[in-house]
Amino acid sequence: MDLIDLRILDLLKENSRMSYNEISKNVQKTEATVRRRVKKLVDEGIIKKFTIDYEIDSKQKLNATIKIEPDFKDIKRILKELTNIKEISGLWRLSGDCGLFLKVDVDSIEQFNPLIEEKISPITGIKIIETCFITDIIK
């Protein structure tokens, strides 16, 4: 590895989508030379992958699940009230005595308790059994 290779690596660290043409202008070598050098760096295992440095978008929603035990004699009314809450993005009726399962999306943790306290808990005939924050989406 020489100074040209190091400069190519620095440029790719800054922007892994930088074109060979742009890199060639920066290092004052031909595009073919840059292609050959990048291929050699990949073949030698110095460049292992071209990747993304991902930062969480501040607009990303906070997701949680809520398991509810409803009073089944009022289930139609309860379901209607729950479907009118905009933060509820998923609502499932589970078999047997499992009750209802909700997925909620809020902009921040500070909005979660008011959602529970002001919108969900006041619905007559429900008992919140469990809440869980979704920390990682696997599939």
How does pLDDT run across 129-139, given as a tens digit for each residue? 999 998 888 88
Range(s) within the chain of domains with CATH label 3.30.70.920: 62-133
CATH fit for domain 62-133, picks 3.40.50.300, 3.40.50.920, 3.90.120.10, 3.30.70.920: 3.30.70.920
Range(s) within the chain of domains with CATH label 1.10.10.10: 3-43
Class of domain 3-43: mainly alpha
3-class SS at 13? helix
- Counting other chains too, the contacts that 92-96 makes at CB distance below 8 Å and 24 or more residues apart are none
How does pLDDT run across 62-85, given as a tens digit for each residue? 899 999 999 989 999 999 999 999
Radius of gyration of the chain (CA): 26
pTM metric for this prediction: 0.56
Torsion of CA 135, 106, 121, 90, to 10 degrees: -70
Spatial distance between the Cα atoms of 48 and 20, rounded to a whole number of angstroms:
17
